[in-house]
Structure 1
Amino acid sequence: MLSDILQQLSTLTISIKHGCRLPCLFPSSLPSPSPTVTASQVPSLFREPYILSGYRPVRQDWRCYPLSLFQRHNESLNIWTHLLAVPLLLFRWWANVGTLGYTFDAASLPLGVFMLSALTYLFFSVAAHLLQSRSEHAHYFFFFLDYVGVAVHQYGCSLANYFYSSEPAWRESCVALLFLPGAMFFAWFSCAGCCFAKSVYQRPYPLERKICQLIPVTLAYLLDMSPVAHRLFTVSWTQEPSLPFHVLQIASFLLSALFFSCPIPERFFPGHCDFVGQGHQIFHLFLSLCTVLQLEALFQDYARRRDRVVEEFGERQLRGACVATLALFLCCILTALIAMRHVNKKLHRQRKERDN
């Protein structure tokens, strides 16, 4: 037995130049992902600006793409930055729950929805970057799913900010009266705008595509963060330990938005950021950091206000607003399916044109 294991260990192969091949300790029935290829060897849909190599070949066996989690390619850090954020969030959740004596009741529901929405967007993002290279159909499907996760998380953030981070003076404003339905609408609008931009525009993408993505997301963020912004300008920071965390999470989000909007630094170093250093990887890092910091801030706010939440808002509103998350999820899934139907027709036309 020991000799067999040693023999297997001695035959492990790692290709650093073209991407790591999986260890031979995996069962022989599992396929091994092919070496990565250059941008010219994959369809234009999969090419990223200024990223010249490290692409996974399309139309491999389906099992190759989950197994490429352990391969070196140009999506590796996009996957791992969000994948590793999951245990970090769970650890901080467990630590805070243990410290605060968290109980599952109406007052804690928005915090639970926030955590669930964060795990949803991270999981869908990992799935998109891990599996999208399989085919054109898979590329669209998984990125539409990614947009659904983003929308759900936007609404999860708005719920937590509304119930834990808002001040009485802000809740008397016109913005507060329309906040929850507005947050739900803009979350869906973000999903719809991203799905539309993805399904309609072709590479090389025009500026209009980025505008369709950024405007709905920006409007959603400005509304979602309005309770926090009001607190930052009206409350003494010495009395609110959560505010430094809120400032840091806002700064992290703004930096993530910068790297999402602009292909930097790879724009200035084409081919040198193929595996490490892409703007999208940095975007993922700051977005994960933003989520962790926001969780810390919300736990601080929850700890100070949990005894008053039900009294101030009412159990019915708390439960209704949280249940609405499911309605939003279903609306976004329907939107993604409609976009997918449009994409299927487009891909079918393209196949017919190639065949003719």
Structure 2
Amino acid sequence: MLSIKLPQLFRFHQVPRVFWEDSIISGYRHPRSSAWDCVLSTLQMTNETLNIWTHFLPTWYFLWRLTALSSSLDFLSESYTWPLLVYMLLICLYPFTSSCAHTFNTMSPEARHICYFFDYGALSLYSLGCAISYGFYVMPDCWVNSWLHRYFVPIAVGNTLVCTGLSCYSRFLELDFPHKSKILRTAAFVYPFLFDNFPLFYRLLLCCVGSCAHSQAVVSHCHYLIFAFLTCFLFASHLPERLAPGRFDYIGHSHQLFHICAVVGTHFQMEAVLQDMTSRRSWLMAHTDVPSFLGTIGTLGLAFLLNFALIGLFSATLLWAPNRSTSEVKEN
């Protein structure tokens, strides 16, 4: 009978510091795991297992939604749908990349950093997808054709480089400056979030004072923001494991919870974008230019190349630097 021997697990003091997680005591995989061992570890309970599956399974949900939309919308020739296509591709990409990063990050200290470089890059591109869809479908009526509206997407491309650059750079600081590293990484993701959602904040403010019609899209946007703030809180606080180190090593620690909140928030965001795209179509088509290939898919391609080059630069610095002390950085 075929038998599979699952990889051995370790406590935090048995692995190099680079692999330590804040307040997580046990459930660590071998720090020099093979790719096959990493795949096998997805079938046993480690402190990473639910991190992997809470993003791998939603990837298939978002792919299913994209497939369903492709059967009802003409993504090939109808340019009005291109911002949605970009957004949908990126909400499939970021959880898949995260799942891969959590699966293969124990192959070596260097591999751990590079896996998370790609994870950060996918998240920054997701922020661009949000900006593109918001710029064309969610922008408040009174801001349409304004200076911000015209330059919203180009600024968002620059924001992706700031996000990827700061978050990757923060990994080089964690050993000597852990608090500064945490602040930089948090700021790297909070800044594009605030920029992308600034038009939404203003639109919801108008609704609060009775200057806009309350719609299902507004309700979905509010649900999205609630889960987005929960995601940020869990990422920054490391609760609940910080209150009881070792009790939440396998189930219930903050990284798992913030993965779940992020995915649920993305679901509500997707529904809100779809509702705005449908309900505001006539008005938007009459008052603004239709989306262009260059402003949507072309912009995504450019941002992808720039971010990939930036990740390559950080990876080369990590691998070729004579001083490998950064390999002792721990992932928070």
| TM > 0.5 | yes
Aligned pairs, number: 321
The corresponding residue for 1:136 is 109
Instruction: State the distance in 2 between where 1:194 and 1:244 align.
Output: 32
Question: What aligned pairs does 1:158-237 form with structure 2 within 5 A after superposition?
Answer: 158-202=131-175, 206-235=178-207
The aligned counterpart of 2:73 is 102
On the 8 A contact 1:191/1:332 being kept in 2, the answer is yes
Q: Which amino acid aligns with 2:85?
A: G
Higher relative contact order, chain-length normalized (CA < 8 Å, sep 6+): 2
Task: Give the root-mean-square deviation of aligned CA atoms.
Answer: 2.2
Distance 1:349 1:93, change over 3 A: closer
The range that moved more, 115-124 or 226-235, is: 226-235
CA distance change for structure 1 residues 347 and 114 in 2, over 3 Å: closer, same or farther? Answer: farther
Structure 2 residue aligned with 1:114? 87
Q: Which amino acid aligns with 2:298?
A: V
Counterpart secondary structure, 2:271? helix
Pairwise mapping of residues 1-356 of structure 1 onto structure 2 (< 5 A)? 8=1, 24=2, 32-93=5-66, 101-104=72-75, 105-202=78-175, 206-235=178-207, 239-315=214-290, 317=292, 319-346=294-321, 349=324
% same residue? 27
Larger Rg over CA atoms: 1
- Residues 109, 177 of structure 1: alpha-carbon distance in 2 compared, 3 angstrom cutoff: closer
Range 281-290 or range 161-170, more displaced: 161-170
Alpha-carbon displacement from aligned partner over 1:71-124 (angstroms, at most 9, x marks no partner): 1100011111111112222344456667xx322220001111101011111111
- Deviation readout 1:184-236 (Å, 9 max, x if unpaired): 11122111100100133327x52111121122322211110122122212246
Change (3 A) 1:113 1:326: same
SS in 2 for 1:53: coil
1:116 alignment partner, SS class:
helix
Distance 2:294 2:325 in 1: 47
- The 3 A distance-change label for structure 1 pair 223 and 318 is farther
8 Å CA contact 1:110, 1:318 repeated in 2: no
Distance (Å, rounded) in 2 between the aligned partners of 1:260 and 1:305: 34
Distance in 2 between the 1:59 and 1:95 partners?
A: 41
Unaligned ranges ≥5, structure 1:
1-7, 9-23, 27-31, 352-356
Normalising by structure 2, what TM-score?
A: 0.89
When the two structures are superposed, what TM-score results if normalisation uses the length of structure 1?
0.84
Whichever residue aligns with residue 224 of structure 1, its letter is D
Partner residue in 1 for 2:329: none
Q: Which amino acid aligns with 1:305?
A: R
Cα distance in 1 for partners of 2:41, 2:58 equals 19
Query: 2:85 & 2:151 partners in 1: Cα distance?
Result: 23
Change (3 A) 1:258 1:347: farther
Query: For the Cα contact (< 8 Å) 2:19–2:31, is it kept in 1?
Result: no
Q: Is the 8 A contact 1:148 1:333 kept in 2?
A: yes
Per the alignment, residue 13 of structure 1 pairs with none
Q: Quick check: 1:117–1:153 contact (8 Å CA) kept in 2? A: yes
SS in 2 for 1:175: helix
Deviation at 1:270, TM superposition (A): 0.6
- Closer/same/farther in 2, CA of residues 289 and 217 from structure 1, 3 Å limit: same
Q: Distance in 1 between matches of 2:49 and 2:124?
A: 24
Stretches of structure 2 that go unaligned for 5 or more consecutive residues are 327-332
Query: Mean Cα displacement is larger for which, 274-283 or 171-180?
Result: 171-180
Cα distance, 1:350 vs structure 2: 5.3
For the 8 Å contact 1:266–1:273, the answer to whether it is kept is yes
TM-fit CA distance, 1:156: 0.2
Q: Matched residue of 1:73: which SS?
A: coil
